[in-house]
Amino acid sequence: MDYDIIRKSLDIKAGSNMPDYEQAVADFSWRHAKSLLHGFADGKLNIAYEAVERHVKSGCGQKIALRWITKNGDVCDYTYADLSSLSSRFANVLDRLDINKGERVYTLLGRVPELYITALGALKAGCVFCPMFSAFGPEPVQARMKIGGAAVLITTKALYKRKMVSIRAELHELREVLIVDDSESEGSRDFHGLMDATSDQFETVAMDPEDMALLHFTSGTTGMPKGVVHVHEAVVAHNITGRLALDLQPEDIYWCTADPGWVTGTSYGIIAPLTNGVMLIVDEAEFDVARWYKNLSEQGVTVWYTAPTAIRMLMKSGSELPAEHNLSKLRFMASVGEPLNPEAVEWGNEIFGMPFHDNWWQTETGGIMIANYASMDVKPGSMGKPLPGITAGIVEKIDGGVREVSEPLTIGELALKPGWPSMMRAYLDEEARYQKCFVDNWYLTGDLAVRDSDGYFWFVGRDDDVIKSSGHLIGPFEVESALMEHEAVTEVGVIGIPNETAGQIVKAFVALQSGYVPNEDLRLELLGHARKRLGPAVAPKEIVFRKNLPKTRSGKIMRRLLKARELGLPEGDISTLESDEK
Ligand code: AMP
């Protein structure tokens, strides 16, 4: 493969994409970021064109775009030209089924090629792509399909039977169900049969930058999930943040371990890598320590984007396995989704010879907003600095408005100046809820954080998770990190529980490494360890052991659920909950 062609076409120079952070911030403009894309006449564009077609047009169609590793370990490659013709076929299928521009195309699939083909084909045709986790049960599936007005669903025979049959009659807007592993039957059609019967040529629909492209769902603390709307213009941010925060280069073999049912798996598991012309690894199987090290070494992964829960599980499994693998190709590792403990960053240095680079963003921001960059010193435990083009601040609430706090290390709400391309454009049909996020020209993230005097941001907790004890504001992450340092601990969730004298006291739920027995001695040892590390005002007053903690499918510890269960309150929306032990 002649990488110079693709480098030239994407305007990517040799060496690091961002050798100097301060310089990049000074030079950055969104207009320039947009100019790196192909686009169409009159300012129109289409995410799928930028992800696939432009590479084919510039003569790089034979480059491998996606390497799929099946559950049983077989490998199947798709070039950019393959993705182009398959997504064109799917766009033609939608056309044939009379699914029109703007209509919502849903998937309920594992990590199989059809998911990626559907995403690209739907976008090409101007439809809205909405991926759902294949592990959702019928209720969360129904809620998401109803809220978004699903017109067509692509799924498997087994998932259809288990999750759709009982709810289908309720979904009045759903016109078509396509099954990827079955022939046509009552109420559904054969995905591949339709694909084979259509042309592999399709002219990508030129979209207005503000046309809706992606619909992701995020859980509210109560009530129904919120449908977060992203538009085609978001690709400007996906592309540039992939370069600046993940340092993606055309030679890279890139593995994003997130499922596309979660926003990371779409923004950085499909769009950013493809717009940057990299080779993407997709593993159909679920997390498995041995398999992951094998993937990293056998596939020669160079850039790896994963999450703290997975990193902690790898840490727990020790250093023998990684020593048996050749991991020398790896050059950049990043993490997102949850606070990354300093120990995990250090462990990266020890095992892989490089730190994990934590970065921060949310479904609503559509792309990475704060990150530790390849060319910058990582401060373990910090989320890093704002992306060029992003203004982040710490604000406090005053008189119905907010004010930025300038004093370093003051806890406040993390806020961003609106206006970047991948910012959500709406919560579907919930205008008031959407408007509430914006105060005094800041977008309020709902997270508490501090900024240090070097401009690095440090996560404190979700606004709802922060504990106020005897006048102290305590971030659960600080307490969790201290407990995580203890060798017996594998996972911790910390919450505040009401207390007459202190207002709230800190309570920790701890899961232990295998080989450790939950007993009173260990409990006292952990309490002592936390007191030594944090001091009595911040250390937990109570520690209880759990086999495992309630987590979302994307690996976030659900502190609000620990709290609801502790206090006997309603559990709220638990559609993203992975099975756990109460
Ligand atoms: P979601 O919209 O499901 O991706 O969740 C976004 C939330 O995850 C953020 O508002 C944070 O509370 C949390 N989060 C994401 N990345 C990080 C990070 N690097 N450190 C701490 N919390 C994070």
Q: Cα angle vertex 47, ends 278, 127, to 5°?
A: 135
Q: Give residue-wise pLDDT tens across range 276-294.
A: 999 999 999 999 999 999 9
Residue 360 CB–ligand 1 contact under 6 Å: yes
Distance (Å, whole) CA 110 – CA 133: 7
Nearest atom in ligand 1 to 459's CA: 21
On whether both 149 and 291 belong to a single domain, the answer is yes
- Per-residue pLDDT at 579: 60
Instruction: Please tell me the least confidently modeled range out of 20-29, 202-211, 235-244, 488-497.
Output: 488-497
On whether both 368 and 476 belong to a single domain, the answer is no
**Residues of the chain with pLDDT > 90: what percent?**
81
The reply to whether 458 falls in a domain is no
On whether both 68 and 147 belong to a single domain, the answer is yes
Domain endpoint, select from 451, 476, 501: 451
On whether both 82 and 216 belong to a single domain, the answer is yes
pTM value? 0.91
Kindly indicate the confidence band of residue 478, based on its pLDDT and cuts at 50, 70 and 90.
confident
Distance (Å, whole) CA 192 – CA 157: 13
Q: How do strand 64-69 and strand 75-79 relate by DSSP bridges? A: antiparallel
Q: Distance from the CA of 362 to the center of ligand 1, in angstroms?
A: 5
CATH number at residue 502: 3.30.300.30
Domain range for 327 = 13-451
570 in Cβ contact with 564 (< 8 Å): yes
- Per-residue pLDDT at 295: 98
The single residue listed with the structure tokens 């969730």 is 493
327 in Cβ contact with 296 (< 8 Å): yes
Query: Residue 541 in 3-state DSSP?
Result: coil
Helix (H) or strand (E) holding 572: none
416 in Cβ contact with 442 (< 8 Å): yes
Take residue 188 and report the two structure tokens written for it: 């559904």
Distance (Å, whole) CA 41 – CA 265: 30
pLDDT at 221 over 70: no
* Angstrom distances, CA of residue 507 to CA of 189, 467, 470, 518: 52, 10, 14, 16
Q: Distance from the CA of 360 to the center of ligand 1, in angstroms?
A: 6
Distance (Å, whole) CA 295 – CA 306: 13
- Per-residue pLDDT at 502: 80
- Per-residue pLDDT at 217: 92
Instruction: Please tell me the least confidently modeled range out of 67-81, 122-136, 404-418, 550-564.
Output: 550-564
Cβ contacts of 507 within 8 Å, gap of 6 or more:
494, 495, 496, 497, 540, 541, 542, 543, 544, 566
Take residue 407 and report the two structure tokens written for it: 């004093």
On whether both 92 and 204 belong to a single domain, the answer is yes
Q: How do strand 467-469 and strand 472-474 relate by DSSP bridges? A: antiparallel
- Per-residue pLDDT at 582: 46
If one residue of 262, 335, 359, 447 were mutated to test the ligand 1 pocket, choosing by the most ligand atoms within 8 A of its CB, it would be 447
On whether both 440 and 470 belong to a single domain, the answer is no
**Interval 255-279 mean pLDDT:** 96
CATH number at residue 125: 3.40.50.12780
Cα Rg, the chain, nearest whole Å? 23
Residue nearest to atom 15 of ligand 1 (CA): 337
Kindly indicate the confidence band of residue 77, based on its pLDDT and cuts at 50, 70 and 90.
very high
Q: How many domains does the chain have?
A: 2
- Per-residue pLDDT at 580: 59
102 in Cβ contact with 92 (< 8 Å): no
**Interval 173-190 mean pLDDT:** 94
Residue 465 CB–ligand 1 contact under 6 Å: no
The reply to whether 499 falls in a domain is yes
Q: Give residue-wise pLDDT tens across range 288-335.
A: 999 999 999 999 999 999 999 899 889 989 999 999 999 999 999 999
Residue nearest to atom 8 of ligand 1 (CA): 337
Instruction: Please tell me the least confidently modeled range out of 178-182, 270-274, 407-411, 533-537.
Output: 533-537
Q: Cα angle vertex 67, ends 65, 72, to 5°?
A: 165
